[in-house]
A and B are shown apart, each in its own frame.
Chain A
Amino acid sequence: MTQPASAYFMEERHDPNETHTLSVLVANEPGVLARVIGLFSGRGYNIESLTVSETESQKHVSRITIVTTGTPMVITQIKHQLDRMIPVYQVVDMTLTGRSIERELAMVKVKGSGDQRIEAMRLAEVFRARVVDATNESFVFEITGATSKIDQFVNLMRPIGLVEVSRTGVAAISRGPEGM
């Protein structure tokens, strides 16, 4: 057995990485996003996707949705580290609750002519993507759905003439009548 390069990482060797979606309610004050991002970069955690917007303007509360990967021990650390920040009200692991809805919006620009345009439109219909801009040689589609659905749509558009993609990152909410 070879020695690991540092004692710090010995615990993590055998644990597989997991992907978790965290919803974080924060006081909407200057620098709060920098604090959250700084925590991830400073402690070497991953951010797969991050969305943030004020959700209750009366109470100055913003909701940050973070998709992150790590071993179960690291995911727990991330939650605790977020939770102890002063402006953080609450951290919920949407993946652990198992009852959350996760959606992402993407705008996908595709260039082409003739059959390519017909194929693009047909696929868009299958994926329930809407055309939000069109020229004689291009479309911009708007598509909403789970990350995997958008990945799939983008991959299908690639051979047809994918130009560029803009994605919002994941927003998540729990099912049922209860709030966070």
Chain B
Amino acid sequence: MSDSKSHDANQMTGAAMIVRALVDHGVKHIFGYPGGAVLPIYDEIFQQGDVEHILVRHEQGAGHAAEGYARSTGKPGVVLVTSGPGATNMVTPLADALMDSIPLVCITGQVPTHLIGNDAFQECDTVGITRPCTKHNWLVRDIKDLPKVLHEAFYVATSGRPGPVVVDVPKDVQFATGTYTPPRKSDVHVSYKPQTKGDPNQIRKAVALMANAKRPVIYTGGGVINAGGNASQTLRALVEATGFPITSTLMGLGAYPASGKNWLGMLGMHGTYEANMAMHDCDVMLCIGARFDDRITGRTDAFSPGSKKIHIDIDPSSINKNIRVDVPIIGDAGSVMEDLLKAFKAEGKKPKIDPWWFEIGRWRARNSLAYKKSDDVILPQFAIQRLFEATRGHDTYITTEVGQHQMWAAQFFGFEEPHRWMTSGGLGTMGYGLPAALGVQVAHRDSLVIDIAGDASVQMTMQEMSCAVQHELPIKIFILNNQYMGMVRQWQQLLHGNRLSHSYTEAMPDFVKLAEAYGGVGMQVFKPGDLDGALHEMIKVKKPVLFDCRVAALENCFPMIPSGKAHNEMLLPAEANDDATAKAFAGGKALV
């Protein structure tokens, strides 16, 4: 009897199954935009109270909001969009999430199965278009397959190296009735088995290298943050146990606290002198959850020439992709670090590296993040520093757009905890930060969520201010307004004869009025002396704020490793006069 009863309870439409699956996977919030091909799902959403829907103003906003949600919680972000343009507008966030390994589950509507291939209204080949920008995707042609695919989608998105997935559901499948089955282990694709446990032999080899290191460095990335759980704590314990200096990629900031004594600052193209020099001169490099991308390595044939490299990554295809390593360890960063820490302690040999720290101290003394302060204009670096000071003691989350402001935020804002820093690292998506801040604020209603923005980037997704107002999400958009696409201009100055082709925004909106037009609060500051007061006011406001911080227009972001140069060829701010710059950048025009 009870069997047939539960059987009946599990009889439902495809649209109902989708909402039910969201509930079964613990989803509390989804980001989306309705349209013809998802109306049955929206009808189900209307009739329930378990899942809260956040209505964005453009599907790209939904995608980035879900990314921000995912990064700040460690849970998958869920997006619901319609067919055709709804799906194509999601392509940018999907590609962004794939590059940065962010778990997203995107459900797209599709035209009814009998119309697929007919060039129907709002039809596009969603699985075809999103195939290269998802970890996996599915077109569900039969209601019988829907529950299994939905569960599998959540598993694939969140396990192994996380990433975005798309489930494309034709409208007739949403209307069809079938039997819902709750999530089970057997829903998993039999061919998909990510390896999480590191090989003990490889770990032994790594410990042997570490125990005998004279000039070691730990280089971590977003993988440590994605590993979730206690991975960041394990990393801190590992640093403590070994005494090694540690640097991180843009994606990995916060895994080790910026106030920690072994912290060298970020490495890479705009990393600190000490971090890059330590990478270049080290004899043992321990890379954890990072992938040696070109913004990190510079010239690959001159990258850390004298070191033995240990590489921990959950994705075998990250190993030996750009840089040959000596000891690859496939596995989850958290799990491998735990084993590594145990084995290192068991070895009982902590290398003496005082001369190495002395060397690092000399590099630190170069003070590579120095900038000239001013009483008349706000330097962007100064603005970030004051923002950081103003947010101390608050439960703060930072998102960014892409460009100079992003690099300054990475350099000058100190991150003490993981999941506090949301930025588009791999894809470099301008317009990421504002919607990402929405997603973060949805997940952390009472926290302080700030998008450190540039005046150009923020206009790419400005419409989501309307979403912030509607859903009472008091995000703070802190715009470093120099009226330029700063990073574009910087490259034009350095590499293209100072011909500033289309990098100046001649018509800038009045951000204060714009904020007010949306129903938010607008603020504007010109003078360094007014900054602190205004920042405190901004933090106090319980509404979305557009903060127009007018900064020195022509300031550039240093230090900088010119693209294609080695780590020890970096350009420091004090040395960035015209001659040195011209020399440093000679011949680098073809690089990105």
Contact = CB atoms under 8 A, between A and B. Distances in A.
Interface string B125-136: 001100110011
Contacts of A155: none
Contacts of B161: 84
A91 to B, nearest CB: 11
Contacts of A31: 127-128, 131, 139
A84 B315 contact: yes
B191 A80 contact: no
A73 B320 contact: yes
A84 B136 CA distance: 10
A83 B564 contact: no
B358 interface: no
B517 to A, nearest CB: 42
A65 to B, nearest CB: 18
Contact of B189 (A77, A80, A87): A87
Interface residues of B, number: 34
Contacts, number: 70
Contacts of B319: 80
Nearest to B191: A89
A141 to B, nearest CB: 39
Interface in A1-28: 3, 5-8, 10-11, 26-27
Contact of A10 (B301, B317, B324): B301
B315 A30 contact: no
A87 to B, nearest CB: 6
Interface string A92-108: 00000000000000000
B189 A11 contact: no
Given A73-B320, A80-B317, A11 B191 contact: no
Interface string A17-56: 0000000001100110011001000100000000000000
Interface string A61-90: 000000000000100110011011111110
Interface stretch (B292-300, B435-443, B568-576): B292-300
- Among B128, B132, B156, max chain A CB count under 10 A is at B132
Contact of B316 (A3, A11, A34, A80): A80
B322 interface: yes
Contacts of B131: 31, 34-35, 38
A77 B191 contact: no
Nearest to A6: B591
B587 interface: yes
Contacts of A7: 294, 297-300, 563-564, 591
Interface magnitude class on chain A: 20 to 34
A31 B127 CA distance: 9
A83 B316 CA distance: 9
Contacts of A77: 317, 320-321
A146 to B, nearest CB: 30
Nearest to B314: A84
A27 B592 CA distance: 38
Nearest to B564: A7
A88 B317 CA distance: 14
Contact of A5 (B156, B297, B590): B590
Nearest to B563: A7
A77 B291 CA distance: 13
Contacts of B189: 27, 86-87
Nearest to B590: A5
Contacts of B315: 80, 84
B161 to A, nearest CB: 8
A3 B587 contact: yes
Nearest to B587: A3
A76 B320 contact: yes
Interface in B555-592: 563-564, 587, 590-592
Interface string B162-198: 0000000000000000000000000001111000000
Given A10-B299, A10-B300, A84 B316 contact: yes
B564 A38 contact: no
A87 B156 CA distance: 11
A7 B322 CA distance: 10
Contacts of A5: 590
B317 A84 contact: yes
Given A11-B322, A77-B317, A84-B317, A34 B299 contact: no
Interface in B253-311: 294, 297-301
Nearest to A73: B320
Contacts of B563: 7
B113 to A, nearest CB: 12
A114 B114 CA distance: 57
B191 A8 contact: no
Contact of A6 (B132, B190, B323, B564): B564
24 contacts: A5-B590, A7-B294, A7-B299, A7-B563, A7-B564, A10-B299, A10-B300, A11-B301, A11-B322, A11-B323, A26-B191, A31-B131, A31-B139, A77-B317, A80-B316, A80-B317, A84-B161, A84-B315, A84-B317, A85-B136, A86-B191, A87-B189, A87-B191, A89-B190
A-B pairs, top 4 by smallest CB distance, nearest first, are A80-B317, A86-B136, A89-B191, A7-B564
Given A5-B590, A80-B317, A84-B161, 9 more contacts: A6-B591, A7-B591, A8-B294, A8-B300, A35-B131, A73-B324, A77-B320, A80-B316, A85-B136
